[in-house]
Chain A
Amino acid sequence: MNFELSEEQKMIQQSVERFVQENYDLPKRVEISSKDPGYNKDYWGSMAELGWLGLPFNEEDGGFGGNQIDTLVIMEQFGKGLVLEPFLANVVLGGGAIQMGGSEELKREILPSLIEGTKQVTLAYAEQQSRFDLEDVATSARQEGDKYIINGQKSMVLNAESADHLVVVTRTSGGQVDEEGITLFLVDSNTKGLEKQNFPTVDGLRASEITLENVEVNTERMIGDIDNGFEILKAVSNNGILALCAEAVGAMEILYKDTVEYTQQREQFDHPLSDFQVLQHRMVDMFMEYEQCKSLLFRATMETIQDPKMAQKTIHALKHLIGKSGIFVGENAVQLHGGMGVTEELRIGHFFKRLLVIDSQFGNADFHLDKFTDF
């Protein structure tokens, strides 16, 4: 048993931490978020140069052969600054799917330019009716010669606005909620019949509703085998959960620490707020939730590396706890900051919003609690 990071991982951690400290104070984040494309292209370029975008990819595809721990290290630090650059959408989701199921040609075409930061990919999986069920896919792909014709709609697609390619989850056979019969395709953003409706999300990021009307895609653009896309989708979703939860742990650390600091400064009834035992205990609870989340994050990440199938139950446990505890920590950080906590002026509200959004992605606390009980 060893919880120590390797020397290389420690160096990455320090370098990401420094990047966040230097580039992500609140005014800067608000400014970047409010302008198109919703992140800073120079930052994205730096991330590519520093090798962060290639970290979890195989060496033969231009990556550095890292694993989920490397992603954890980066995402936890990103969580401390609410970094806007589309690392999750590209590296973990879109790129992750291609790495897992793409043909050699497809990997060679897409991954190097993704790692260099010149092309972007995202994952379009959710639909209006699907809520959190990955297997609920109505968007159809029908074979016609050497092509497939895609029709349907995809919801809450992260970073689609900037993506050059979308990994689209489609149904090629079976019923709407069958795990079998799901197939993934790589679709170019500018393909005829693909429409994006872009909008900001609660946490200052961007997402899109996508409609696909008779969108043609070549059979070579299939990711994985026909009708067997669910396994890839599930694995990508699990990695997405691990990455989001690492980000959440970083955000929770900021929230509890900011609250401890604020209550020592703010005086009410002739005492600093931190003198009041009821508030001390609340902050102890926030701190304990943070530590517990971090423990379960480590557990789920290490179990996934060891055996993804065995880790499934722990991943459900993790996403449940992060959802519940994240909102607990966020709500109480706001409560203990008083009126100021409910304003856009302090950073805690922004961290709280991010935790709220994280709970709504890849299944909320209730959803994963329910899944957990299936084991």
Chain B
Amino acid sequence: MDIELSSEDLAFRDEVRAFFEENKIKEGEDYFSWRLGWFKKAREKGGWDVPKWPAKFGGPGWTPTQHYIWEQETARATIPFDLPFGLGMLAPILMSYGSKEQQERFMPDIRDRKVNWCQGYSEPGAGSDLANLKTKAVLSDDGSYYTVNGSKIWTTLAHVADWIFCLTRTDDSGIKQQGITFLLFPMKQEGIEVKPIITLGGSHTVNTVHFTDVKVPVENRIGEEGKGWTYAKGLLEHERTGLAGLSKSLVEVEQLKENARSVQRGNGTLMDDSSYKSKVAELEIDLMATEYTELRSLANAAAGEELGPESSILKLKGTEIKQRIQKLTVEASGIYSSAWGDGGIGFPFAKGGTGGYLNSRYFTIYGGASEVQKDVIAKKVLGLTKGSKK
């Protein structure tokens, strides 16, 4: 066991830091042209614009340690926003299961951040029980197109998406994991209606999407008909790891402490308050442990082991940590935590704090609710299934 970074890794870290420093947005610079320029320069570094893509598809081909370093550094640096749907969710599926034509058709625009994608998985009746899909896709008699009817829910940023990758049901005669087909189609077309869902924090990021007789050419199908579940499933385990968001939490805990230090209490600050500071300490301890749980899983991945059900631990712990950070922000705001909106009432950090906390309740629900993650661990790791009595 050895936790020291090698000299190569240290050099890599410095290089990443220097890159972030050199390419920070300058005062008065237009955000969107800076963003595109940033990705162009990152690409010139050797695929830094698509860090998670394998070298074969133009990615940097980093070691797990390098990925870890990148994650740590991005959490602290000023880098442009990026959306995970095309880059992190669809692209890996295209790489593994898409045809050569599909890869050439869709991946360049994903890489250039030209096309926004959204993910059409969840449905009103299919939450954590994702395979319970009802959206129907019926193949035309001549076999040239599908007609899609049904509804999706919790579709993040569907209202700004150009395309959707969508799980549809083409056959309901077998078990529910069978008969699911993976289709891609444009969002801006007749027969697609997007309705906003306003969350408790008062914001609009998720939507319901309704499909009425949407025609999808058969060449937009990934892989074989009826195998869509297999394609999507592998990605869900990766999604879980991503949802833990530990490096961001590390930065947020530092911010949390700084906020609490700005709240005067008697001769000290809120960070001198014994119950508040114990809660922050407990949070930090859990975060320290979870960081190494993540590192151990990265090390396994480096040794060539499959990312397995252990990713559920990261999702569980990581999302609980994120919720606790939000809750402690609300507590730090004190009486001002009940002020709503951006009216600038109370402490600067109180703005959006309660909205953030309310929206954070979603973290233990999406990507497989916590109760389901625990089921996965019970069954797949501990072997606790019905009839497992020894």
Which of B88-96, B306-314, B363-371 lines the interface with chain A? Answer: B363-371
A322-375 contacts to B (CB < 8 Å): 331, 334-335, 338-339, 341-345, 349, 352-353, 356-357, 360-361, 364, 366, 369-370
Among the stretches B50-58, B75-83, B334-342, the one at the interface with A is: B334-342
Given contacts A268-B127, A278-B371, contact A339 B339 (CB under 8 A): no
Report yes or no: A338 in contact with B369, Cβ–Cβ below 8 A: yes
Cβ of A335 and Cβ of B369 under 8 Å apart?
Answer: yes
Q: For A128, what are the chain B residues with a Cβ–Cβ distance below 8 Å?
A: 346
Known contacts A278-B371, A335-B370, A338-B127; is-contact A343 B199 (Cβ 8 Å):
yes
Q: Which residues of A contact B358 (CB under 8 A)?
A: 202, 342, 349, 352-353, 356
> Total A-B residue pairs with C-beta atoms closer than 8 Å?
123
Q: How far is the CA of A339 from the CA of B346 in the complex (A)?
A: 31
Bin chain A's interface residue count. 35 or more
Task: Return the contact of B339 from the options A132, A199, A335, A364 (Cβ within 8 A).
Answer: A199
Q: How far is the CB of A352 from chain B (nearest CB, A)?
A: 7
Interface: A155 (CB within 8 A):
yes
> Is there a chain A Cβ closer than 8 Å to B154's Cβ?
yes
What chain B residues lie within 8 Å of A331 (beta carbons)? Answer: 361
Q: Which of B132, B206, B338 contacts A202 (CB 8 A)?
A: B338
Nearest neighbor of B342 in chain A, beta-carbon distance: A199
Residues A360 and B338 in contact in the complex (CB < 8 Å), given A128-B346, A339-B154, A345-B197: yes
Question: A249 to nearest B CB, angstroms?
Answer: 19
Instruction: Give the interface of B toward A (CB within 8 A).
Output: 122, 125, 127-129, 132, 153-154, 197-200, 202, 206, 263-266, 273-276, 330-331, 333-341, 343, 345-346, 354-355, 357-359, 361-362, 364-366, 369-371, 374
* CB pair B331 A335 closer than 8 Å: no
Known A-B contacts A268-B128, A344-B199, A369-B275; the reply to A207 vs B338 at CB < 8 A is yes
When distances are taken between beta carbons in the complex, the residues of chain A under 8 Å from B273 are: 366
**Residues of chain B with a CB closer than 8 A to A366's CB:** 273, 275-276, 331
Q: How far is the CB of B346 from chain A (nearest CB, A)?
A: 7
Q: Does A174 contact B (CB under 8 A)?
A: no
**Alpha-carbon gap, A339 to B127, bound state (A):** 8
Q: Interface residues of A: mostly helix, strand, loop or mixed? A: mixed
Contact of A339 among B153, B341, B354 (CB under 8 A): B153
Other 4 A-B pairs with CB < 8 A, given A202-B337, A356-B357? A132-B334, A200-B340, A200-B341, A352-B358
B338 A343 Cβ-Cβ under 8 A: no
Q: Which residue of B lies closest to A345 (CB)?
A: B197
Q: Is the CB of A364 within 8 A of B331?
A: yes
Interfacial chain B residues near A156, Cβ < 8 Å: 335-336, 338-339
Cα(A343)–Cα(B276), bound, Å: 30
Q: Does A126 touch B at the CB level, under 8 Å?
A: yes
Cβ of A136 to closest chain B Cβ, rounded Å: 9
- Whether A234 is near chain B, meaning CB under 8 Å from some CB there, is no
Residues of A that sit less than 8 Å from B by CB: 126, 128-132, 155-156, 177, 197, 199-203, 207, 209, 267-269, 276, 278-279, 331, 334-335, 338-339, 341-345, 349, 352-353, 356-357, 360-361, 364, 366, 369-370
Closest to B337 in A: A360
Give the chain A neighbours of B333 by CB distance below 8 A: 360
A37 to B122, CA, bound (A): 40
Q: How far is the CA of A339 from the CA of B359 in the complex (A)?
A: 10
Contact present for A269 and B129 (CB under 8 Å): yes
How many Å lie between the Cα of A197 and that of B365 in the bound state? 37
Shortest beta-carbon distance from A39 to chain B in Å: 16
**Cα distance A278–B331 when bound, in Å?**
29
Chain A contacts of B366 at CB under 8 A?
339
Identify the closest chain B residue to A128 (Cβ).
B346
What are 19 A-B contacts defined by CB distance under 8 Å?
Answer: A128-B346, A132-B335, A177-B266, A197-B345, A199-B340, A201-B338, A201-B340, A268-B129, A335-B370, A341-B361, A343-B198, A343-B199, A344-B198, A349-B358, A352-B200, A360-B335, A364-B334, A366-B276, A370-B275
A342 to B264, CA, bound (A): 33
Q: Which of A276, A278, A356 has the most CB of B within 10 A?
A: A356
With a cutoff of 8 Å between Cβ atoms, the chain B residues found around residue A353 in the complex are 200, 358
